[in-house]
Amino acid sequence: MVATMAPMIVTVQQHILEEQKKRSDATGTFSWLLSGITLAAKMVEAKIRSAGLLDVLGSLGQENVQGETQQKLDVYANQALLHCLGMRDSVAALISEENEEPVVLDRDEKSGKYIIVFDPLDGSSNIDVNVNVGTIFSIFRRPDGNKDLNAAILQPGTEQVAAGYVVYGPSTVLVYTVGSGVYGFTLDHTIGAFVLSNPNMRMPDHGSYYSVNEANADSFPAEYQQYLARLRSGGMGRKYSSRYIGSLVADFHRTLLKGGIFLYPPTAKQPGGKLRLLYEANPLAFIAEQAGGMAIHGNGRVLDIQPTGIHQRTPFIVGSCAEVEELQRSFA
């Protein structure tokens, strides 16, 4: 009798190792570093799953550096990432949405090769109502011979060596890129591992959804208002529906899978945009481009912005080429 083999599974760790083998400078350091992110993600997901049972919902009554009230799970997620990544020798600095200043680790230049930027729990105002939230991360290499860590931290998005996000939804999904395509993994609780579920993810060339907080539309610049009117009227040759969760990772994940466009334009209240460049826009822009989509801040590419501060904000428009190019043309 011939034994039947179970279908082969590929865990995220195996996948990262395979990706690294394709590179001549592979030392295993990078995969060890990424394993810190997956470990923290599993800790956060376990806490979120038990959120209704334990006393982890709701606000801690403290404000973070953006002046937003910190949710308890925000604090837990931040500590999990700082702990899991801070223990890796290869990490020189950690930049979190929840910390005003970079966390600089005492590493020499040779071992401390990487700088990691993250939003530990994006969309956390949605937790109390059981809506998807996420973790977003981005990894930079510390330039060789660079002693000034502050300068090394403020690199444009084109210099990212890896980026990804975890969406804590009905399933927990991790999506990442190291600049050679985009891969998605679903957490399999039976074996406690992220398993490859979406190989070589591609954003459709166009889609049928637009995603924006329309309550702000009256204060968008004219180009955005006219563009949204064209989407609604069928003036772009198809009928669009609107979808807005208000949780960036979830809105982005849908846009990656289904196509269409997500916009957070400048508003009267936030003339420079609301979303943060380093740990929200840049990682998702890198993933979108790697999947064949586009990400702009108006008349230019998000990844080309030279950051001037770690918590800087930017207008953020991301999605399928057809929809994003159409908007970009209005700024020409």
Name the site residues for Mg ion (rule: CB under 5 A).
Answer: 119, 122
Contact 248, 283 (CB under 8 A): no
> Which of residues 30 and 316 has its CB atom nearest to ligand AHM in the complex?
316
Query: Of the two residues 123 and 283, which places its CB atom closer to ligand AHM in the complex?
Result: 123
Torsion (CA) 74, 79, 81, 85 in degrees, nearest 10: 160
Query: What are 81's two structure tokens?
Result: 């990432």
Q: How far is the CB of 246 from ligand AHM (least distance, A)?
A: 5
The residue type of 63 is: E
Residue 40 CB, nearest approach to ligand AHM (Å): 17
Q: State the binding partner of 174 from Mg ion, ligand AHM, none, CB within 5 to 8 A by kind.
A: none
> Shortest Cβ distance from residue 166 to ligand AHM (Å)?
13
CA distance 303 to 52: 38
Specify the residue, 136 or 152, whose C-beta has the smaller distance to ligand AHM: 136
Beta bridge partners of 247: none
CB-nearer residue toward Mg ion: 280 or 289:
280
Shortest reach from residue 247's CB to Mg ion, in Å: 9
Q: Which is nearer to ligand AHM, 119 or 323 (CB)?
A: 119
Q: How far is the CB of 33 from ligand AHM (least distance, A)?
A: 23
How far apart are the C-alpha atoms of 250 and 22, rounded to whole Å? 31
Residue 121: CB minimum distance to Mg ion, A: 8
Cβ of 151: how many Cβ atoms within 10 Å? Answer: 10
Which residues bind to ligand AHM, rule: CB under 6 A?
68, 97, 119, 122-125, 213, 246-248, 251, 274
| Nearest alpha carbon to residue 212 among 197, 199, 227, 200 | 227
The listed partner (ligand AHM, Mg ion, none) that binds 273, CB under 5 to 8 Å by sort, is none
Please tell me the distance from the alpha carbon of residue 249 to that of residue 258, in angstroms, as a whole number. 14
| 274: partner contacted, choices ligand AHM, Mg ion, none (Cβ within 5-8 A by kind) | ligand AHM
Minimum CB distance to ligand AHM smaller for 33 or for 133: 133
Q: Which does 13 bind (CB under 5 to 8 A by kind): ligand AHM, Mg ion, none?
A: none
Of the candidates 229, 240, 221, the one whose C-alpha atom is nearest the C-alpha of residue 331 is 221
- Please state the closest distance from residue 159 (CB atom) to ligand AHM, in A: 23
Give me the half-sphere count of Cα atoms (radius 13 Å) on the Cβ side of residue 73: 29
Q: How far is 236 from 154, CA to CA, in rounded Å?
A: 38
74 binds, options ligand AHM, Mg ion, none, Cβ within 5 to 8 A by partner type: none
Helices 248-258 & 282-290, crossing angle to 10 degrees?
A: 10
Q: Which residues contact 91 (CB under 8 A, 6 or more apart)?
A: 33, 36, 85, 105, 107, 112, 114, 115, 116
User: In terms of CB distance, is 58 or 246 closer to ligand AHM?
Assistant: 246
Q: Residue 138: which of ligand AHM, Mg ion, none does it interact with, CB under 5 to 8 A by kind?
A: none
